[in-house]
Structure 1
């Protein structure tokens, strides 16, 4: 099956007709449909399909127990109303690259695997890379069992409803120990390749990044009868903090975003008692990130004091800088540049990936495919078919080079 036909078959799964975006949330019917698609692609190629204890799907050529396996893939779930390419491009390209390797007659001298990691985006339970975090032990079983969605449904309950045993959750060192290298292809989430004019690039590192919850607590009151001087309104303090996040990030050359907010009691004619906002901040290095988040928290506390409200700041998640395996990264750049005078772009990224989580246990590397608009996590996310084809070829070249090494 060609890249185009696979892409066309996957495209309607989990797509919202109103927004045009995707709602492929973990352990929902849309997720089940995507998993069925992955299994069908594996079986159609004569691969052995299995789902591990943490809900990650694997398709194997050869016996993974032999060790030093070469694995590629990504994820199929999405953010709310996300685009078509983030995750699925890597999975579809993995199957297409296998087809290309077979057509070239490449001898598979080591086990080869394709993976679909579960719940990478964290759209339903609020934590990214759940499948890979569980596998590596970065997420404990106890913490996983406490995860709940917006309806109060726990992760174990959702998994059970989808036919998966939540009691099996936990670290999977034996499986990870079989992997000699993992290469993830992903659409670029930015415009670096578009600016350099390259269709494909190699990742150098993932920026350190985290999520912080800001709780501004004031006093609910009547919007029409309470004098401004008598209010303990958390909304102005929150609004000033949002503007400060932009200012501090711009000053440091980083990024900081308040993308989610909850208000109580959330009435048009009521002064809020609580404004809760979630900050996402990322930077090229740890000192810069610390500077941005430290300055922002200091400013937020000053705003809260000025408006007579209380402030709690909780760091909900954090991932330090991830340097991809230098030997593997350099091998990718060398393979892609072989026989040409071209220098393959090597670039960092502010987006998190399963490859970043796995890097603590397995040599990992990433390839990026050009995104001409730089738009991601949106229905407008885009890559041309020519660039997608170039990505498949590059992935196949890299995999062949690693197999023959």
Structure 2
């Protein structure tokens, strides 16, 4: 983490905000977040892509889960792993029951070659916020819980926020169990290797009933806070978004003996569609459309692809516009494929409508954190899934690069500490 300083030797955030002695003490206690993040900085490093690759139930993510369990035990938190693989670490006063909880937390998995902060910062900040509260002598009147959700990114099994979707019933157990990763391993098989049971996953109304509110801290995945000059912000909404798999079907053949004029090249059909995706998205103000993953079959250098699977991500604030964009892309993809003597299929993998976070809770969170600005985001989160079931809000911590899902993702030390104190203030406000 990088810490900017002024000419006087004070940190930049101290200089701009003029903390009281009490606030400075909080920031001192919040240094825990820095040590927690540094303790995991070597786990899951991707030497080929740069950054981190931590797919759910892979060796790196399992090591991080063990790290979390150890960190929770060091804080005398009562940890349980539910039937959907979500870990819950409880802090509550003696005699209190596990209900009406103030839940915080995030995820530990990553996209391939992702940044260090997307997910783990929220988990580390949650643990550090408990340290801040205990340093203040705070005793919760409502339970405070740190939750860790599996497969938030969907980088292994293709469905984002899989843990929270299972918890809320947003995805059926049957569909979840049948999901396959790039090696053909099903989610059912991966779950079994970790001691889970496919016949037990799915909507958990009892666990949902224990949650009073959910507050998720996350590094910002854009430039909103940079442009506002603020270290911490509050999410107002999440753009509607979805993932679709397009499959171009052609004729596999020899690259050296097949004349160009006689080819049915699925790769060409896919490539022309990728360009069309950009052009169609540009027709709709505020739209985002991306193809970030492409898999040719059979994938040989000297083989014309017989099939190419590629994944489409589309986002817009208006769900109806998202649907129109996807329909246009599919129609154009079919037309382009036909020109190449190919066919094109489209399969929906996951769709989430635009989410507006609880307005009252968001305003309270803004006030409790000293008037933090409110801003929308185009990134999906477990908080967005839980918003349909419980009052939910999000804190964002400034990312000075404005880049995410990339090794260039960053969070400065001062902002990480400020985010931890902001989260601690919010937890105290609701659990006090």
Select the residue among 381, 389, 392 that pairs with 1:364: 392
Normalization by structure 1: what TM-score?
0.93
Q: Which moved more, 1:296-305 or 1:266-275?
A: 266-275
Q: Secondary structure at the match of 2:369?
A: helix
Partner of 1:208: 240
> Take 1:284 and 1:376, find their aligned partners in 2: how far apart are those partners?
20
Q: Aligned pair count?
A: 399
Q: Secondary structure at the match of 1:78?
A: coil
Q: Which moved more, 1:148-157 or 1:45-54?
A: 148-157
Q: Secondary structure at the match of 1:366?
A: strand
Q: Which moved more, 1:7-16 or 1:157-166?
A: 157-166
Cα displacement (A) at 1:43 = 1.3
Cα displacement (A) at 1:144 = 1.9
Partner of 2:409: 381
> Take 1:386 and 1:141, find their aligned partners in 2: how far apart are those partners?
42
2:51 matches 1:21? yes
Cα displacement (A) at 1:345 = 2.0
Partner of 2:28: none
2:365 matches 1:332? yes
Q: Which moved more, 1:28-37 or 1:217-226?
A: 217-226
> Take 1:325 and 1:273, find their aligned partners in 2: how far apart are those partners?
48
Structure 1 residues 114-159: Cα deviation after superposition (integer angstroms, max 9, x where no partner):
1111121122222211211111111222112212222222222222
> Take 1:64 and 1:167, find their aligned partners in 2: how far apart are those partners?
31
Q: Secondary structure at the match of 2:376?
A: strand
Structural RMSD (CA): 1.8
Structure 1 residues 167-194: Cα deviation after superposition (integer angstroms, max 9, x where no partner):
4322211111111100000001111111
Q: Secondary structure at the match of 1:332?
A: helix
Q: Secondary structure at the match of 1:168?
A: coil
Cα displacement (A) at 1:66 = 4.4
The answer to whether the 8 Å contact 2:144/2:427 transfers is no
Partner of 1:301: 334
2:151 matches 1:119? yes
Cα pair distance change 1:275/1:185, threshold 3 Å: same
Equivalences for residues 68-83 of structure 1 within 5 A: 68-83=100-115
The answer to whether the 8 Å contact 2:160/2:350 transfers is no
For structure 1, which runs of at least 5 residues remain unmatched after alignment? 338-342
Partner of 2:15: none
Equivalences for residues 242-257 of structure 1 within 5 A: 242-252=274-284, 253-257=286-290
> Take 2:332 and 2:50, find their aligned partners in 1: how far apart are those partners?
39
2:181 matches 1:149? yes
Select the residue among 305, 309, 317 that pairs with 1:276: 309
Equivalences for residues 78-93 of structure 1 within 5 A: 78-93=110-125
The answer to whether the 8 Å contact 1:117/1:354 transfers is yes
Partner of 2:82: 52
Cα displacement (A) at 1:85 = 0.2
Partner of 2:170: 138
Cα pair distance change 1:401/1:52, threshold 3 Å: same
Structure 1 residues 241-289: Cα deviation after superposition (integer angstroms, max 9, x where no partner):
1111112222312111111111123333333222221111111221331
Select the residue among 222, 229, 237 that pairs with 2:254: 222
Q: Secondary structure at the match of 1:96?
A: helix
The answer to whether the 8 Å contact 1:325/1:363 transfers is yes
2:374 matches 1:346? yes
> Take 1:27 and 1:270, find their aligned partners in 2: how far apart are those partners?
34
Select the residue among 183, 203, 227 that pairs with 1:195: 227
Partner of 2:69: 39
Normalization by structure 2: what TM-score?
0.88
The answer to whether the 8 Å contact 1:65/1:178 transfers is no
For structure 2, which runs of at least 5 residues remain unmatched after alignment? 1-30
